[in-house]
């Protein structure tokens, strides 16, 4: 556990070769927490793999599932500072960054703030959390799943405009009434599951299949971040991609990613000369065998 200020303690772990190439796993969500699956992409003989739970989720404390946990010190800029504090704590000069979905946004924001600390990046399911991307996920995608989106909209207070759904849910999730928070969490998870329904395999649903405590934290953190546009200027991470000059990167994106359409990865690839975009034609946001092979190949290449 690493003390990062504001009463927060961030959980971290390391595995692999202590003398190997340093790599940081940046999980998605925001608020999903890190898990053991991400370790499997790395050759443990060649990599020193570091994983951490971002503020308020996983094993970090205080946990956002507790309504008494304030989120005002949980922003993109706080997470960037936490990553730097962890790097310094571990005595790492520079590290490869790996992650996807929300993790890709945080990777890009960190790399643009501290480009001298990033040796390479491997990013799947590319997002930059622009307001236009948020609007697509929580409004535009309703054109593809109108029944599920209608139910999602019905979960917000009467009279809520479609463009205000995320902010409305963020307020519901701060309600003093636990029943209100529970209904909002369930409605949010049901919508997210609908967006991923064409690619989700057997087993628990990607969102509503999580333990209740993890659901509450992730949904609350997601709504908090997305209602604030992740505290980034619109198009910031694309406009400032010049800060990434000299950092080799592999971008891997599914053509049928309905949650994060390919356009974002394509735009980023065009302004980042050292990035190489691999489009997986038969994959979506959750990826698949071809996505995993592309990520493995990139990590093996960068381990040299």
Q: Which residues are known catalytic residues?
A: 101, 257, 285
Tokens of 200: 């989700």
Tell me how far CA of residue 20 lies from CA of 14, 99, 193, in angstroms: 11, 19, 38
Q: Pick from 107, 140, 76, 83: which is nearest to 268 by CA?
A: 107
Tell the residue number behind the tokens 């065998």, with chain if given: 289
Would you say 64 and 31 are in contact if contact means Cβ atoms under 8 Å apart? yes
H or E element in which residue 89 lies:
helix 76-90
Tell me how far CA of residue 205 lies from CA of 191, 208, 218, 227, 289, in angstroms: 11, 6, 14, 24, 19
Would you say 269 and 244 are in contact if contact means Cβ atoms under 8 Å apart? no
Tell me how far CA of residue 12 lies from CA of 157, 244, 280, in angstroms: 39, 26, 31
Would you say 13 and 42 are in contact if contact means Cβ atoms under 8 Å apart? no
List of residues 6+ apart from 95 with CB closer than 8 A: 22, 23, 24, 50, 87, 117, 118, 119
Q: Cα angle at 46 between 125 and 249, to 5 degrees? A: 30
Tokens of 211: 């333990």
Q: Cα angle at 133 between 273 and 285, to 5 degrees? A: 75
| DSSP tag of 38 | G
Rg, Å, the chain Cα set: 18
Would you say 193 and 208 are in contact if contact means Cβ atoms under 8 Å apart? yes
Q: How many residues in total does the chain contain?
A: 304
């Amino acid at each position: 556990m690493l003390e990062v200020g504001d009463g927060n303690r961030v959980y971290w772990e390391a595995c692999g070769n202590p003398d190997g190439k340093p790599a940081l796993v940046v999980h998605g969500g925001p608020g999903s927490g890190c898990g053991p699956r991400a370790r499997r992409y790395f050759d443990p003989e060649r990599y020193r793999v570091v994983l951490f739970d971002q503020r308020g989720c996983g094993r970090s404390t205080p946990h956002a599932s507790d309504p008494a946990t304030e989120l005002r010190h949980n922003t993109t800029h706080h997470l960037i500072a936490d990553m730097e504090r962890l790097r310094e704590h571990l005595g790492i000069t520079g590290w490869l960054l790996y992650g996807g979905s929300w993790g890709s946004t945080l990777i890009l924001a960190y790399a643009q703030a501290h480009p001298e600390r990033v040796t390479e990046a491997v990013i799947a399911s590319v997002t930059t959390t622009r307001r236009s991307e948020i609007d697509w996920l929580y409004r535009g995608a309703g054109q593809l799943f109108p029944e599920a989106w209608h139910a999602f909209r019905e979960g917000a207070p009467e009279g809520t405009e479609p463009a205000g759904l995320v902010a409305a849910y963020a307020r519901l999730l701060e309600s003093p009434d636990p029943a209100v928070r529970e209904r909002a969490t369930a409605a949010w998870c049901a919508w997210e599951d609908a967006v991923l329904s064409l690619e989700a395999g057997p087993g628990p649903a990607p969102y509503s299949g999580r333990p209740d405590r993890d659901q509450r934290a992730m949904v609350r953190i997601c709504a908090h971040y997305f209602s604030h546009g992740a505290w980034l200027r619109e198009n910031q991470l694309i406009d400032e991609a010049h800060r990434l000059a000299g950092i080799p990167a592999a971008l891997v994106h599914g053509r049928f990613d309905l949650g994060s359409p390919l356009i974002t990865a394509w735009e980023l690839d065009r302004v980042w000369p050292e990035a190489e975009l691999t489009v997986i034609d038969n994959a979506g946001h959750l990826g698949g065998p071809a996505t995993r092979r592309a990520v493995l190949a990139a990590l093996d290449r960068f381990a040299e």
